[in-house]
Amino acid sequence: MRQHTTNFQKQNYQPLQPKKTPEKKFGKILGWGIVGLLLVGCLLLFFNEQIRDWTIANRSQHFALKHVTSNDILKNKKKKGNYDFSQVQPIDSKTILLEHPNYSGVIGAIAIPDVQLNLPIFEGVGGDNLFYGAGTMKEDQIMGSGNYALAGHHIFDSLYGDNSSMLFSPLQNAKQGMLIYLTDKSTVYSYRITSVTTVGGDEGEIIYDKGEKSLLTLITCTDAEATARIAVQGELVKKEAWEKVPLLQNVFNQPYNKDYDLQNTVFN
């Protein structure tokens, strides 16, 4: 018996699909939007410290000595700095990203090749000074004279622990005998480290002048809670004119807050 195939049977039958309403479309878009926001939030949380460090490293290049002259530095030294330590801000991604840096005020630079430290120096500890470099701790300080004291942040994070190369973090690796270089782009001052100690936050006398000695004192926190301070002190051993030491100029021309072998890059 011949079977008859109807047109209905020949067709590829598809069950009827309910039409999507605008409400369902909106709900789907909203759902994916929430997922996207959560994903972005997780990425920002995970890369929070990397974003902070990248921002500091890149912004700090605007303070490079190549952007200023010795006359600019002299003018900046005459500006009044903020020495209210209670206004020193903690360093975190939110603060850094919301902050609008004022790319001026450089009065010099500091470099310690043995520990990969290379930073701009600013007058005082206020504003964004300590976000990008080192700040003078007393008014009217003069490089190569008295006890020239600088403060800087120590970065602690989950990636490097306390071994960050940012700001004053490398001071934890400082040792007696290492050389520290300061410059105001007129003179380069060389100091040899004589002591690396831990002091309490209330032991401010460590930055006082000591008679006729020409000293350098560098201060940073020992831990994230700032329970104590690392104090690195050195004595002046040499002063040289900026234009006569091209090798040391090369030290200061290296990028700030970058993780690389400063000692071998410059001296080898």
Catalytic (active-site) positions: 153, 221
E strands, 152-224, are: 179-183, 187-199, 215-221
Evaluated on CA atoms 248, 254, 260, 266, the torsion sign reads: negative
- Residue of 122, 120, 125, 114 lying closest to 234 (CA atoms): 114
Cα separation, 55 vs 81, whole angstroms: 24
Q: How many CB atoms sit inside 10 A of residue 127's CB? A: 18
CA 81-110-167 angle, to 5 degrees, is 80
Angular region, 131: left φ>0, alpha ψ -120 to 50, beta rest: alpha
Cβ atoms 193, 174 nearer than 8 A: yes
The secondary structure of 78-145 as a DSSP string is: TSPPB--GGGPPP--HHHHHH-------EEEEEEEGGGTEEEEEESBS-TTHHHHSEEESSTT--TTS
Tokens of 179: 């050389």
